[in-house]
Structure 1
């Protein structure tokens, strides 16, 4: 089982899966749309979309 870096508790499966989704979305944006953004920028964009209820 995977362990967290700063503690000994296992990382939940859904958290690992979300990390994979982030990587897939970033790769798609970079390759298909030609937009180079960082993971931090992606999270900021998603926060704004959530704030305005564009996504849930």
Structure 2
């Protein structure tokens, strides 16, 4: 009965959702702002913003 709650089956779905959000952000940056960056560059930018406590 509680196997679904205790089992770690939600992690892949969460990772898929996070990947979808990253793709949406990249698309918005590319299309609306005209800045062409890679996913790796996006991660570097997000890491820097996190370091400076701009985002959590």
TM-score tier (shorter): 0.7 to 0.9
Rounded to whole Å, the distance in 2 between the matches of 1:55 and 1:35 is 20
TM score, norm. by length of structure 1:
0.79
TM score, norm. by length of structure 2:
0.79
Runs of 4+ in 1 over 3 A off after TM superposition: none
Which structure dedicates a bigger proportion of its chain to helix? 2
RMSD of the alignment, in Å?
1.2
Structure 1 unaligned spans of 5+: 1-9
When Rg is computed on C-alpha atoms for both structures, the one with the higher figure is 2
Structure 2 unaligned spans of 5+: 1-8
Structure 1 segment 40-55 matched on structure 2, within 5 A: 40-55=40-55
Counterpart for residue 30 of structure 1: 30
The number of residues matched between the two structures is 47
Show CA shifts across 1:3-35 (max 9, x none). xxxxxxx66211010000010000000000000
